[in-house]
């Protein structure tokens, strides 16, 4: 199991389930900051066509290319289904944002053999490790 910081170091493409168009929400600010530091952000939100200059997809299954990490900005009760979908598309890792914890989602990820992080923030871990994907 890779650490949170190792996951970020190893990941180039992050699918963000629940990405928001509202710049006041963490589900917008966090992916936007990760993008500024060089990660490719793929928004997963059925109510928008584009976010962060990238095409948005209604579900993980609709993304036509592999992703390195699935970042979840959905309530804990929704995380279980998101983790199931992440496993189904072959994502190697799932990350539940700060404040999101699910024993069932963790169990599904562990049984599938994929890396799992919960209740941690991408931008906090990125900053703590001094990570960037720029040049």
Nearest to 71 by CA among 128, 110, 79, 108: 79
User: pLDDT at residue 135 above 80?
Assistant: no
Q: Both tokens of residue 36?
A: 């500024």
Determine if the pTM surpasses 0.95.
yes
Cα–Cα distance between 32 and 29 in angstroms, integer? 5
pLDDT digits (tens, 9 = 90+) for 45-56: 999 999 999 999
Nearest to 30 by CA among 69, 59, 81, 62: 69
Domains, the chain, with CATH or none: 4-129 (3.40.50.720)
Q: How far is CA 128 from CA 21, 26, 27, 115, in A?
A: 26, 18, 20, 20
pLDDT band at 134 (very low <50, low <70, confident <90, very high): confident
């Amino acid at each position: 199991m890779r650490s949170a910081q190792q996951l970020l170091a190893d990941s180039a493409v992050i699918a963000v389930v629940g990405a928001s168009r509202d710049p006041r929400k963490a589900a917008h600010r966090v992916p936007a900051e990760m993008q500024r530091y060089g990660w490719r952000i793929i928004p997963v939100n059925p109510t928008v066509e584009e976010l962060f200059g990238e095409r948005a997809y209604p579900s993980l299954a609709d993304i036509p290319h592999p992703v390195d990490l699935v970042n979840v900005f959905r309530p804990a009760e929704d995380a279980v289904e998101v983790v199931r979908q992440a496993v189904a598309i072959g994502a190697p890792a799932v990350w539940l944002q700060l404040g999101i914890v699910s024993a069932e989602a963790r169990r599904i990820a562990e049984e599938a053999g994929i890396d799992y992080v919960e209740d941690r923030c991408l931008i906090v871990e990125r900053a703590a490790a001094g990570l960037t994907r720029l040049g």
